[in-house]
């Protein structure tokens, strides 16, 4: 670490932290950094960039490290392994010191030229989060845009947080809201819902979107079920986190009474001399529905337990190997 001179003026407070998770983006990183630099250098905004290398297997870390060594306003964080985009974003946010925090992708799909506009909007003070909306999304229609449309519709409908595009990484936050998002797993898609849990005021604004020129997208159709599971969790968190008994108790009581009624009916039949041994299909259906409900509730409970585990011990869901310019 650099030794501070006693007579040195304190550094100007950082207004903006730009957090960028990167996983195998060696070709994109240098281009993105010089693009951000040329966009912001004449704007007199005191900013820092925090790049989180999420266990890349190419030369991404070397690129980051080199850049950070010669640019003091760039922090480069190196993870031990691949913890996922959400966790990498959270680590970057943990280390951010700006009054506002921007998150963006490291693959040149988001446009740094939107950043001054986002900052200006949030500084008006009406919102705590402003989310980018990709009006003209440049991704594959069938594999990406269609599932995302369905997901956007479901999230909007089921969580009651009304945005048109939840999946755009380009967003700006008041720092205190970003720091308490509690991102891990693949929850970055639900950031607006997580922010709303804190009572944040959220609005959205159209941003530019470019197609990927270098490297590959890390996601495909295989995440559909994971997104659906996270969606169930978000509904639970929005509605029942502080009163889980209302959900599980309510469903439990209803099912229990249904069972009692059916059993009384069967008892009646039996006493009237009928054979009540049902069809195998009925048994299967019963087991499946009950099993399904059990899996879902156990899933939600273990997730809540997991959060308690990490939060009560201030444990991190990531492990850092090295930081340049901490
Ligand atoms: N990313 C990451 N860890 C991962 C997967 C992705 O840090 O495990 C980063 C990736 O390098 C990029 C951003 O997250 O900067 C978005 O990823 P990608 O472009 O693959 O997603 P898409 O734009 O296709 O939704
Ligand atoms: Mg991308």
Q: What is the pLDDT of residues 183-241, one digit of tens each?
A: 999 999 999 999 999 999 999 999 999 999 999 999 878 888 888 999 999 998 888 88
Distances in whole angstroms, Cα of residue 187 to Cα of each of 88, 231, 247, 251, 290: 11, 9, 22, 26, 27
Q: State the distance from the centre of ligand 1 to the C-alpha of 12, rounded, in angstroms.
A: 32
Q: Which residues line ligand 1 (CB under 6 A)?
A: 21-23, 25, 54, 82, 84-85, 88, 105-107, 109, 217-219
| pLDDT at 142 (0 to 100) | 86
Closest residue by Cα to atom 18, ligand 1, is 217
Average pLDDT of the residues of the chain = 91
Q: How confident is the model at residue 11 (pLDDT cuts 50, 70, 90)?
A: low
Q: State the distance from the centre of ligand 2 to the C-alpha of 188, rounded, in angstroms.
A: 13
Q: How confident is the model at residue 170 (pLDDT cuts 50, 70, 90)?
A: very high
Question: Among 18, 19, 21, 189, which is best to mutate for testing ligand 1, by the most ligand atoms less than 8 A from CB?
Answer: 21
Q: Is the pLDDT of residue 97 over 70?
A: yes
Q: How confident is the model at residue 303 (pLDDT cuts 50, 70, 90)?
A: confident
| pLDDT at 7 (0 to 100) | 54
Residue 276 structure tokens: 């009540």
Q: Is the pLDDT of residue 19 over 70?
A: yes
CB 132, CB 118: distance < 8 Å? yes
Sheet holding 16-22, edge to edge: 202-207, 129-134, 171-174, 100-103, 16-22, 47-53, 74-79, 320-324
Report which bound ligand comes closest to the CA of 23: 1
Q: Is the pLDDT of residue 169 over 70?
A: yes
Residue 323 structure tokens: 């930081």
**What are the beta bridge partners of residue 77?**
52, 323
CA 225 – CA 115 distance, rounded (Å): 33
| pLDDT at 78 (0 to 100) | 98
- 310-307-232 Cα angle (round to 5): 155
CA 258 – CA 151 distance, rounded (Å): 33
Grouping H, G, I as helix, E, B as strand and the rest as coil, residue 37 is helix
Report which bound ligand comes closest to the CA of 22: 1
Residues of the chain with CATH 3.90.550.10: 16-239+316-324
pTM, two decimals, is: 0.88
| pLDDT at 259 (0 to 100) | 84
User: What is the arithmetic mean of pLDDT over 283-289?
Assistant: 81
Q: Is the pLDDT of residue 5 over 60?
A: no
Residue 191, CB-side half-sphere exposure with 13 Å CA sphere: 32
Q: State the distance from the centre of ligand 2 to the C-alpha of 33, rounded, in angstroms.
A: 16
* Lowest mean pLDDT segment, chosen from 8-12, 33-37, 182-186: 8-12
Q: Is the pLDDT of residue 63 over 90?
A: yes
Q: Does domain 16-239+316-324 have CATH number 3.30.390.10?
A: no
Distance of CA 129 to the CA centre of its chain: 14
Residue 109 structure tokens: 């799909």
Report which bound ligand comes closest to the CA of 25: 1
Q: Is the pLDDT of residue 256 over 80?
A: yes
pLDDT tens-place string over residues 273-282: 888 776 677 7
Give the other-Cβ count within 10 Å of 323's Cβ.
15
| pLDDT at 10 (0 to 100) | 55
CA 158 – CA 118 distance, rounded (Å): 27
Residue 297 structure tokens: 């509730």
pLDDT tens-place string over residues 110-145: 999 999 999 999 999 999 999 999 999 999 988 889
Atom of ligand 1 nearest to the CA of 217: 20
| pLDDT at 3 (0 to 100) | 53
CA 55 – CA 224 distance, rounded (Å): 24
Q: Is the pLDDT of residue 294 over 90?
A: no
């Amino acid at each position: 670490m650099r030794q501070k001179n006693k007579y040195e003026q304190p550094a100007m407070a950082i207004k903006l932290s730009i957090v960028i998770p990167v996983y195998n983006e060696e070709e994109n990183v240098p281009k993105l950094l010089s693009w951000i630099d040329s966009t912001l250098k004449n704007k007199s905004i005191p900013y820092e960039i925090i790049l989180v290398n999420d266990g890349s297997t190419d030369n991404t870390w070397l690129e980051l490290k080199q850049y950070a060594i010669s640019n003091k306003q760039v922090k480069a964080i190196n993870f031990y392994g691949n913890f996922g985009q959400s966790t990498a974003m959270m680590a970057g946010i943990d280390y951010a010191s700006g009054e506002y925090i921007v998150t963006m992708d490291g693959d040149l799909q988001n446009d740094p030229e939107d950043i001054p506009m986002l900052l200006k909007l949030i500084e008006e003070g009406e919102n705590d989060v402003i989310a980018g909306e990709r009006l003209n999304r440049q991704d594959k229609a069938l594999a990406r845009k269609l599932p995302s449309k369905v997901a956007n519709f479901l999230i909007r409908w089921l969580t009651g947080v009304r945005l048109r595009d939840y999946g755009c990484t380009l967003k700006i936050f008041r720092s205190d809201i970003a720091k308490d998002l509690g991102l891990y797993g693949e929850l970055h898609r639900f950031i607006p819902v997580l922010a709303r849990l804190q009572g944040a005021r959220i609005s959205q604004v159209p941003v530019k979107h470019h197609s990927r020129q270098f490297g590959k997208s890390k996601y495909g159709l295989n995440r559909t079920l994971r997104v659906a599971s996270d969606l169930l969790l978000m509904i639970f968190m929005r509605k029942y986190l502080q009163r889980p008994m209302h959900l599980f108790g309510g469903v439990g009581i209803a099912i229990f009474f249904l069972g009692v009624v059916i059993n009384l009916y069967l008892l009646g039949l039996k006493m009237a001399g009928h054979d009540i041994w049902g069809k195998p299909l009925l048994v299967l259906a019963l087991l499946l529905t009950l099993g399904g409900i059990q899996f879902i509730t156990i899933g939600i409970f273990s997730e809540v337990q997991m959060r308690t585990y990490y939060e009560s011990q201030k444990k991190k869901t990531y492990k850092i190997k090295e930081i340049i310019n901490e």
